[in-house]
Amino acid sequence: MNASVFASTQKRKNTRSDLAVPLKRSSIPAFQFDPASPAKNLKNIFTHQSTIIDRLFCERDDLVERVQTLEERLSNSLSMISVQKARIVNLSELSARLSASGPAENNRQPPAPSQIAPDDKIIVEQILKLSLDQIPLYLAHNPFPLQCTLTSPQLGAERINSVLTSLPSQVAVPFASAAFAQLFRSSEISELVQTLRKSIHNHQFIHKIEAFCCKLFKAGFCQLFALQPQQNQLVTLFDSDGFTLQVPVGQGIVGSCAKEGKILIYQSTQESPSYDPEIDDFFNIGSNPSLLIPIFDSSSNFVISVILVHSPKVGALFTPEDLQVGEILSSQISPFLTAYVEHMEKNEDRSYRSELSLAVKSLLGKNTLEELLQTTLQVVQRMIKAENAELYLIDDEQGLLYVFEPQSSHNGVQMYVRKYFSGKSGIPFHVIKSLSVVNINRLTPEKCEFFSRETDVVALGKPYLAVPVFAVGEKPIAVLAAYGKSGSNLFSPSDIAALQQLSVQVGVNLTNIFASQSAQETQQTCSADVGNFSNPLNFLIKQIAAGDEDSMIDLAEAISLEAIKRLNCDLIALWQVINNRPVQRYICKSQEEFIQIVDIPPVVNQVIESGEIKISAVAAEVQQMMGSFDDEASYKSYSNITMPIKDQDGKIIWIVIAENSLSAQGRFTDTDVAGLTEYSSFLIAATNVVNLQGTVESNEKAISLQKTLISTLTPVKTDMLNRLIVAINDSFDSKYCALYQADGIAEALTITETNYPDAPKSIMLTQGIIGKLFTTNESHFYNDIYNESEFNAPTDAFGLDDMNSAIYCKVTNSFLMVLLSPEKNKFNEQQVQAILGASDLVQIAYELSRNFNEGGSTDSSIVTAEQRATFMSRSSSPTRSDLEEYSDRFFNIMNYNEDDRIIMILKMFVSQGVIRKLQVPFQKLVQFVCTVRSCYNETPYHNWTHACDVTQFAFSCIMRGRLRLYLQDIELFALLLACVCHDVDHHGLNNAFHKKARTPLGILYDERPVMEMHHAATAIRLLEMPEHDILEGIENPSEKSHFYEFFIKIILATDMDKHFAYIKEFEEMSSDFDKRNERHRLLLAQIVMKSGDVSNTTRAFDVASDMSHKLTDEFFKQGDLERQLGIEVTPMCDRTKASHISTSQVGFYGFIAAPLLTALGNFITALADNTDQLEKNKRQWEQQKEQWELSQQK
């Protein structure tokens, strides 16, 4: 600011001062005398005098107030004069010297010209144009003494002395005093630093900094915000009521300062672009100015704290001098706040894991809704410090939500009753529909478009958090909500993650509770009086064994009685459809048989014609559907289900009518439809069995098989289909059996059930006898399969050379059954027909198995819903001992089974906080890891075991090498995930093979690293599947791109062709590593990945040796294939020319592994012990090599 501008600014400020306005007397109206009315004159006199007195009192009060203001300002001026005098005393020698040599007192001209820099000459000229009282303000806006001494203390002192000697004494003295005041502020910061050294872990540490800043900047308020890195937010504590204010990074003036990383001055805080009233109104700054100072991590350039300072007086301003002082303060206290934040982060992470582990454990074993409800709400309130919580459950039948409200019975017993919400709006309904998390800082109807007073009014004006609760089969069954954050202003990312983790266990508990309730209800229903059988399947067995001629009618009667119980209705009627004409078989009305033959209701023929179910609860409509039935049966119809029952060919063979539901709603529901469908399936099976009884002489084997198969269907459980297939196999005394299902998309058959583990998992429709018969819809038996022209041993005989007889039977449009036997002439046509007769039972067993075990499979590579829930429960709370075990340098992956390896990897992700920071859906992460495991092939070395081993090494680097100081959270996530995926779908063949053999992959990637590109592409394809969308919580497209940038390039770094280029670049970068440089961070992550890929060299020697032999075996298998294909055999893969394994290992250790691990150990010294172990192993290989060479000389 130049002198003229500065002067004009001061002039404008003075004109606005209230003291510049002169005091004016209030005008008093003149008294009017009326000679004609003495009384009126007297009255006017009193009124006039009263007005004068009132005006005088007002003027007196105004004068008193102005005097008090003047006294206050005078007092302040005297205080400032006292301070100035003290400063002048400190400069007495300089003042005396300058006074002795200066010009006359009133002379303001500078002394004789001296050697002075052009910039300082301008400063002198500007100062000479100012009045003496303007000099301190001028230096506040132009703090060159402070800037000079910070840049170079010696040069700064010379410049200040040059300016002083160029000024007359009368000007130099106040200038020196003001300059000294600036420098004195920086010396005060040095005193603070000495104080902080003694109280780094004291709870008064923060308060000392805040109190000092108030004094340093002459402010009325100061608040220090410390970063919580794992939650991406800053927190501060208000001492008045113990309230913790949480500020997300990037939000409000404080969050913006942390994100931008620079000192910010707002002269009117409310007008700043980053002002957020929901956060910033807590400070009561209003339109006052504010100063925000970021504090950086002492070992990097990341903000770890923000200091907020503001003046309580409107009109007060922060100056550039304050900005300079803020920079000094930031740099001086950075080391202390770095230590403080690290200390806080460790305590927070330790406390969080401990509390979450206890919370999950407290939910285990809660097998009743009452127990679970009480415990869940208490755990949520304690874990995330919510004022209250609620569990909203879903009523699937009515599509409504309900909660349990505690009530006391008449005898004082505590019980819970359902409270339904009639509407279908509100936050819980939104969570169910969107399957997303809702987190609102302050719930208001204006901010929340799906707000409903019915469900949400209890949380009005409070922070609100709600997450969906999933059943074991990924179906949403509840919403877990919390509102009112005790001692804070919002729910943090850590709170969201904690609630999601708790919801997983709550979902498991609810699934078990509902399953138990359903089983109890079924048991109660079956144990009731249901006629002459306990359940339909057992009755079928008895009826078939009896061979009753009237079994068809008896079966209809038994199933009708059971259906009345199951559906809780008043009437069941059955018509058998023969040649498209309905025949009345049985009517049960009010628990009694109705034997009269009635006219066929119109709805029966309507359903036969349309083939669709009809449901109605409108009395008039039902009466039209039933026609004269009500009059003939002396009945009144109100609600109705009419269902067609179709055989395997889609032909209608029965019509079932159920009428008048006795439920509270008086109508039939989807559950009733499902129940009726279940009994209809039994009726279809019974119909087929009874039909077969009529031809028992010609097909006794079929009847026997049907009896056997029906008996195997009891009990109805998830293994029904497997039991059925094994029963068929045992009935025909065959050795192996399998059931294949058509996959229309892949044009292949996929195995569903088998008793032979090595049976082919997939068979193309173009392969062998099986493919041909399925395509042509045929079924045949063969007693010498090797003589068949279409025979293909790997598929038709499961790759076995001792199989001779076979049955290939297409039992339905989707299934084909295979039976194999080593005996010749084993099978016949009757057996084929018997299997075809059981096709309906196969379909029923498959459907029931699928319903009981949604998504299940006998293939061990596919994880079931129950397994997924187990993985989530066991891995959600890693302990300190887990982390120490997984980061151990002497880790041995062979000590862990398949499930333990999955749990280990999941715990690694959880322990780093990336699940909650990046909002990774835990269920999808579990599914993704399990799917990746299934995509690894059974190669000798590059398999799932190797992937887990590499991931453990990277995790060890993260923990022991403190990689969190170098990499961002999303980059750590990408590194761990890349380790898991880096060799997915490896074929045991290297890049050179694919290029030489011109495989499809070799042609596709040509000049690129073939397998590394394939691994990355396979992983990306899996990540893009909806069930594996673990990145759905990352909403920012640039962040998602950042993840893929690291993830893909980390995998590609395992290309050995560029091995030494990576090492060279890393060594050159190590000396000036910059955490702000993304390329530096990526290169570090790539080096960790590459080190993990050769980390077998750092294991204990027996483990390292075993891995080396497996890798060598894989190489030799490639060489065998190259020789078979007639292409050049890779030297290291040629077992015919190979020397002792120690020879190759000495070279690999010395030239490949050692330079890489040495470079990493030099950069992060905590990892240097990896190289030590490598050297020990290398010496053992050298000893083996020497011994082998000596043996060859002999």
Q: 840: annotated binding-site residue?
A: no
What is the pLDDT, as a whole number, of residue 230?
Answer: 57
Residue 685 has pLDDT above 80, yes or no: no
Which distant-in-sequence residues (6+ apart) come within 8 Å of 361 by Cβ? none
Residue 12 has pLDDT above 50, yes or no: no
Instruction: State the architecture of 199-351 in CATH terms.
Output: 2-Layer Sandwich (3.30)
What is the pLDDT, as a whole number, of residue 707?
Answer: 58
Long-range contacts of 553-558 (CB under 8 A, 24+ apart): 553/585, 553/586, 555/683, 555/686, 555/690, 556/585, 556/586, 556/683, 557/531, 557/586, 557/588, 557/593, 558/531, 558/532, 558/533
Alpha-helical segments (H) within 230-304 = 252-260, 277-280
What fold characterizes domain 865-1187?
Catalytic domain of cyclic nucleotide phosphodiesterase 4b2b (1.10.1300)
Q: 48: annotated binding-site residue?
A: no
What is the pLDDT, as a whole number, of residue 1049?
Answer: 94
Distance, in Å, from the CA atom of 39 to the CA atom of 46, rounded to the nearest integer, reads 11
Higher local confidence (pLDDT), 833 or 542: 833
pLDDT in tens, 356-394: 667 777 777 677 777 788 888 888 888 878 888 888 888
What fold characterizes domain 364-524?
Beta-Lactamase (3.30.450)
Q: 944: annotated binding-site residue?
A: yes
Domain edges within the chain: 199-351, 364-524, 547-698, 716-853, 865-1187
Higher local confidence (pLDDT), 230 or 565: 565
Higher local confidence (pLDDT), 894 or 457: 894
Residue 1085 has pLDDT above 90, yes or no: yes
Backbone angles phi, psi at 716, to 5 degrees: -80, 100
Q: 203: annotated binding-site residue?
A: no
pLDDT in tens, 490-499: 777 777 878 8
3-state SS, one letter per residue, for 207-249: HHHHHHHHHHCCCCEEEEEEEEHHHCEEEEEECCCCEEEEEEC
Which distant-in-sequence residues (6+ apart) come within 8 Å of 1025 by Cβ? none
The pair of structure tokens assigned to 694 is: 């009529």
What is the pLDDT, as a whole number, of residue 978?
Answer: 96
- The band of 410, judged by pLDDT with boundaries at 50, 70 and 90, is very low
Residue 906 has pLDDT above 80, yes or no: yes
The letter for the amino acid at 477 is I
Nearest to 213 by CA among 137, 312, 295, 308: 308
Measure CA of the first residue to CA of the last residue in the chain; give whole Å.
94
What is the pLDDT, as a whole number, of residue 25?
Answer: 41
Neighbouring C-beta atoms of residue 205, cutoff 10 Å: 19
- The band of 967, judged by pLDDT with boundaries at 50, 70 and 90, is very high
Q: 1145: annotated binding-site residue?
A: yes
What is the pLDDT, as a whole number, of residue 667?
Answer: 74
With the C-alpha atoms ordered 169, 173, 174, 179, is the resulting torsion angle positive or negative?
positive
Higher local confidence (pLDDT), 684 or 798: 798
Q: 985: annotated binding-site residue?
A: no
Which distant-in-sequence residues (6+ apart) come within 8 Å of 507 by Cβ? 469, 470, 471, 472, 477, 478, 869
What is the pLDDT, as a whole number, of residue 1092?
Answer: 95
Residue 88 has pLDDT above 50, yes or no: no
pLDDT in tens, 266-279: 887 787 888 888 77
Q: Is 310 a catalytic residue?
A: no
CB 183 within 8 A of CB 149: yes
The number of residues in the chain equals 1194
Least confident of 64-78, 107-121, 527-541, 1133-1147: 527-541
Task: Return the DSSP state at 714.
Answer: -
Distance, in Å, from the CA atom of 563 to the CA atom of 675, rounded to the nearest integer, reads 8
- Residue 569 CA neighbour count, 13 Å, CB half: 31
Q: 1042: annotated binding-site residue?
A: no
Q: 239: annotated binding-site residue?
A: no
pLDDT in tens, 1104-1147: 999 999 999 999 999 988 888 888 898 889 888 888 899 999 99
Q: 946: annotated binding-site residue?
A: yes
Where b means 16+ CB within 10 Å and e means fewer, 760-770 reads beebebebbbb
pLDDT in tens, 460-481: 888 888 988 887 656 788 899 8
pLDDT in tens, 984-1008: 999 899 999 988 888 888 888 888 8
What is the pLDDT, as a whole number, of residue 64?
Answer: 67
pLDDT in tens, 304-362: 788 888 865 555 678 777 777 777 777 777 777 777 766 666 665 556 666 766 777 77
- Residue 308 CA neighbour count, 13 Å, CB half: 27
Nearest to 1143 by CA among 1191, 1077, 1103, 1084: 1191
The pair of structure tokens assigned to 851 is: 């319903």
CB 689 within 8 A of CB 544: yes
In terms of average pLDDT, the best of 349-353, 405-409, 449-453 is 449-453
Alpha-helical segments (H) within 998-1152 = 1000-1005, 1010-1023, 1037-1052, 1059-1070, 1078-1093, 1101-1125, 1141-1147
Neighbouring C-beta atoms of residue 198, cutoff 10 Å: 9
Distance, in Å, from the CA atom of 417 to the CA atom of 240, rounded to the nearest integer, reads 42
**Active-site hit among 310, 942, 994, 1014:** 942
Q: What share of the chain is helix, strand, coil (3-state, %, to 5)?
A: 55, 15, 30
What is the pLDDT, as a whole number, of residue 436?
Answer: 82
Residue 1027 has pLDDT above 50, yes or no: yes
Please give the mean pLDDT across all residues of the chain: 76
Residue 660 has pLDDT above 50, yes or no: yes
What is the pLDDT, as a whole number, of residue 859?
Answer: 41
Domain 199-351 and domain 865-1187, same fold? Reply is no
Lay out the sheet containing 736-743: strands in order across: 762-764, 748-754, 736-743, 815-821, 805-809, 780-782
Least confident of 112-121, 491-500, 504-513, 896-905: 112-121
Residue 778 has pLDDT above 50, yes or no: yes
Number of helices (H), then strands (E), belonging to the chain: the values are 45, 24
Give the relative orientation of helices 602-610 and 619-626 as an angle to the nearest 10 degrees.
90
What is the pLDDT, as a whole number, of residue 1089?
Answer: 96
Instruction: State the architecture of 716-853 in CATH terms.
Output: 2-Layer Sandwich (3.30)
- The band of 618, judged by pLDDT with boundaries at 50, 70 and 90, is confident
Average pLDDT over residues 1049-1057: 93
Backbone angles phi, psi at 689, to 5 degrees: -65, -45
CB 996 within 8 A of CB 1121: no
Distance, in Å, from the CA atom of 955 to the CA atom of 1132, rounded to the nearest integer, reads 31
Instruction: State the architecture of 547-698 in CATH terms.
Output: 2-Layer Sandwich (3.30)
CB 1146 within 8 A of CB 1181: yes
What is the pLDDT, as a whole number, of residue 652?
Answer: 87
What is the pLDDT, as a whole number, of residue 738?
Answer: 92
Residue 1051 has pLDDT above 90, yes or no: yes
Q: How much is the pTM?
A: 0.41
What is the pLDDT, as a whole number, of residue 111?
Answer: 45
Q: What is the dihedral of CA 195, 201, 206, 212, to 10 degrees?
A: 0
Classify strands 414-421 and 805-809 as parallel, antiparallel or unpaired. Answer: unpaired
Q: 3-state DSSP call for residue 271?
A: helix
What is the pLDDT, as a whole number, of residue 407?
Answer: 55
Residue 700 has pLDDT above 60, yes or no: no
Where b means 16+ CB within 10 Å and e means fewer, 583-602 reads ebbbbbbeeeebeeebebbe
Higher local confidence (pLDDT), 85 or 1020: 1020
- The band of 686, judged by pLDDT with boundaries at 50, 70 and 90, is low
* Beta-strand runs (E) in 606-673: 614-616, 640-646, 652-661
